[in-house]
């Protein structure tokens, strides 16, 4: 499992200025970070569907195609190591830990006066049934796979689309890229990736994989909203906003405890990887 700094180094080392050029952002559709996740995602969805992100996404596509043509995407692809048993075990541990964390957060706001913070907790902790969770994990595992290593041509197509998304998402964070509206731009990119996945799956011969894509697409915007609110909660836990009462102090304490638990789990996985 390579860390982000290594990936960024591979993207920028020894390449032309094209690799780090900033892509202009649609500044007119920026949302406040404290906005409700559902409202934020709905706003971005409307802007995406109406084409307000089209120019930006097309510029990203041009940068991606230029790198692909020159063979530079291979640097990123080679950092993928395949789905290993350790990763799958880590994923199960992380999923279980997330479930316990969500339950603790829901208990913390039970009976408390409704607030924007409690609404974010209810959104971030929204449960996902096992059928959908399995499909989500299956798609997530593509991030660990190199091009051409899928079980068939259909899975290889999804791996290629995931690599394309990963490159573009990293490119957003390169030096010189605009910070304005970054969360919204990432949402638009995820929406575009899903559209490409669904379009590709229409011709799949692998019925099981086609069904997985359909399940992954089902409730997609709701999950984006949950992730948005979860990120706001992480910002709250990091001290960007001070607790205003005992309930919020308890919430902040729970978030910090589980942030450390997830950090311990990540460090354990890194240690296993470095021994190999």
Report pLDDT digits (tens) over 248-260: 889 989 999 998 9
Q: Output 78 or 132, whichever has higher pLDDT.
A: 132
| pLDDT score at 179 | 61
- Does residue 41 have a pLDDT over 90? yes
| C-alpha triplet 154, 157, 161: angle, nearest 5° | 145
More confident residue, 14 or 237: 237
Burial of residue 58 (number of CB atoms within 10 Å: 0-12, 13-18, 19+): exposed
Confidence (pLDDT) at 148: 93
Structure letter (DSSP) for residue 144: G
Rounded Cα distance, 145 and 228, in Å: 26
Cα(231)–Cα(126) distance, integer angstroms: 14
pLDDT confidence bin for 243, thresholds 50/70/90: confident
CA distance 191 to 57: 11
Please tell me the predicted confidence (pLDDT) of residue 48.
Answer: 98
Q: What percent of the chain has pLDDT over 90?
A: 47
pLDDT score, position 275:
58
User: How far is CA 167 from each of CA 58, 67, 174, rounded to the nearest angstrom?
Assistant: 14, 10, 11
Q: Are 48 and 191 in contact (CB under 8 A)?
A: yes
Is residue 228 within 8 A of residue 94, CB to CB? The reply is no
For 49, the 3-state DSSP assignment is helix
Find the Cα–Cα–Cα–Cα dihedral 196, 63, 30, 37, rounded to 10°: 40
User: Does this model's pTM top 0.85?
Assistant: no
Q: Which residue has the higher pLDDT, 88 or 166?
A: 166
Query: Average pLDDT, stretch 170-179?
Result: 69
DSSP string across 171-183: HHTSTT---TTHH
CA 3 to chain centroid: 15
CB count, 10 Å around CB of 80? 20
The top-scoring range by mean pLDDT among 39-43, 83-87, 88-92 is 39-43
Q: Are residues 181 and 25 in contact, defined by beta-carbon separation less than 8 angstroms?
A: yes
Of the pLDDT bands very low, low, confident and very high (cuts 50, 70, 90), residue 13 is very low
Strand intervals (E) in 59-213: none
Residue 83: predicted pLDDT: 60
| Higher-pLDDT residue of 270, 101 | 101
Number of other residues whose CB lies within 10 A of the CB of residue 248? 19
Q: Is pLDDT of 45 > 80?
A: yes
Q: How far apart are CA 207 and CA 213, in angstroms?
A: 10
pLDDT at 93 over 50: yes
């Amino acid at each position: 499992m390579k860390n982000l700094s290594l990936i960024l180094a591979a993207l920028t080392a020894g390449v032309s200025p094209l690799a780090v050029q900033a892509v202009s952002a649609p500044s007119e559709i920026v949302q406040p970070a404290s906005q409700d996740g559902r409202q934020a995602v709905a706003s971005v969805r409307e802007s995406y569907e109406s084409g307000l992100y089209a120019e930006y996404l097309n510029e990203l596509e041009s940068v991606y195609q230029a790198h692909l043509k020159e063979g530079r995407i291979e640097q990123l692809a080679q950092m993928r190591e395949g789905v290993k048993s350790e990763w799958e075990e880590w994923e199960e541990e992380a999923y279980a830990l997330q479930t316990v964390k969500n339950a603790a957060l829901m208990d913390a706001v039970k009976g408390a006066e409704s607030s924007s913070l409690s609404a974010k907790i209810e959104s971030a902790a929204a449960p996902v049934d096992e059928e959908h969770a399995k499909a989500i994990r299956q798609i997530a595992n593509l991030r660990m796979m190199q091009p051409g290593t899928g079980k068939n041509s259909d899975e290889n197509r999804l791996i290629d689309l995931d690599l394309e998304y990963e490159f573009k998402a990293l490119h957003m964070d390169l030096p010189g890229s605009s910070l304005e509206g970054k969360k919204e731009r990432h949402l638009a990119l995820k929406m575009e990736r899903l559209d490409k996945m669904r379009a590709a799956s229409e011709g799949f011969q692998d019925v099981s994989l086609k069904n997985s894509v359909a399940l992954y697409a089902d409730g997609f915007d709701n999950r984006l909203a949950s992730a948005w609110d979860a990120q706001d909660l992480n910002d709250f836990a990091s001290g960007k906003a001070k607790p205003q009462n005992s309930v919020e102090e308890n919430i902040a304490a729970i978030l910090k405890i589980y942030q450390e638990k997830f950090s311990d789990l990540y460090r354990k996985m890194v240690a296993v990887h470095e021994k190999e």
